A = this chain, B = another copy of it.
């Protein structure tokens, strides 16, 4: 390591993004530059410790690639549920981790600074506010429409956590009283209308099927929609309309400046965005509601790492030490 590298190290944080399918670790400079990224699959580990060891190795490798041996702290976004702000996690889709003391283990491993764990969707929203489409706005909703629908809030210029750190669960706002039952235990949740797997199911129930050999997934459904398949087009329309309706509700409740939308489904472009904006337009009345800017997410592929890093790199804005209840 060069002496220049040694000087740099206090200007860097380690950002970690843990999802059900893959995990990523990267070194991020305090100005948001991503200096290294290491990705590994989440599955295939025998137990909690094996998964932790793999993650710890990925973090060390990210430090090595960035040429630093020490960081100012570690931020981590993880799939929920979790106990916040303690960072004890039991991710639905990571069965080997139940009540796993993630923040404590991170701090033990990289002790030179704080270890902060928050929900992954909140970290993505933070990334949009720190470096993406919501940059500079005081009141922003960042949301992800993908295999699920999640989100996070920056209100009055700071991340808003809610009483137990769960604020931003926009996917479980209610689209319709008589909507489908949701695995969360509720009914009519946005996620049941808008998420990728749900719109694939909806299309299949109406006769759509993938070409032989192709998977019944969002990518195949999008190809069908782009090829003019009416059921596939209607499936994306239904997703977009439900998201637009809920955004109108959020803007009425929160008098928002910006909504940044990311996630795989925005690859559908106007097949999703046009019905979304039409629905928003139908439901948004007051001028203060209609003024909200609805923008595609722009923090990029490393948004999860960036937002996690921001928990430390811009902790005065994005981290609240003490639970507010």
Contacts and interface: CB of A to CB of B under 8 A. Distances in A.
A279 interface: yes
A169 interface: yes
Given A161-B255, A165-B255, A320-B156, A188 B325 contact: no
B176 A163 contact: no
Interface in A229-286: 241-242, 245-246, 248-250, 252-257, 279, 282-286
Interface string A145-184: 0000000010111101111111111101111110000111
A241 B174 contact: no
Contacts of A256: 162-163
Interface in A267-325: 279, 282-286, 288-291, 320, 324-325
Number of copies: 2
Contacts of A138: 163, 324-325
A165 to B, nearest CB: 7
Interface residues on A, range: 35 or more
Contacts of A246: 174, 249
A168 B245 contact: no
Given A283-B186, A285-B184, A163 B255 contact: yes
A139 interface: yes
B324 A283 contact: no
B282 A187 contact: yes
A173 B285 contact: no
A189 interface: yes
Given A139-B162, A156-B161, A156-B320, A285 B254 contact: no
Contacts of A165: 255
Given A185-B286, A248-B174, A283-B187, A155 B166 contact: no
B139 A169 contact: no
A36 interface: no
Given A286-B185, A288-B164, A173 B139 contact: no
Contacts of A168: 253
A186 B285 contact: yes
Nearest to A188: B283
A267 to B, nearest CB: 24
B324 A157 contact: yes
Interface of A: 81, 137-139, 153, 155-158, 160-170, 172-177, 182-189, 241-242, 245-246, 248-250, 252-257, 279, 282-286, 288-291, 320, 324-325
The 8 closest A-B pairs by CB, nearest first: A162-B255, A184-B285, A185-B285, A186-B285, A138-B324, A173-B249, A172-B252, A166-B255
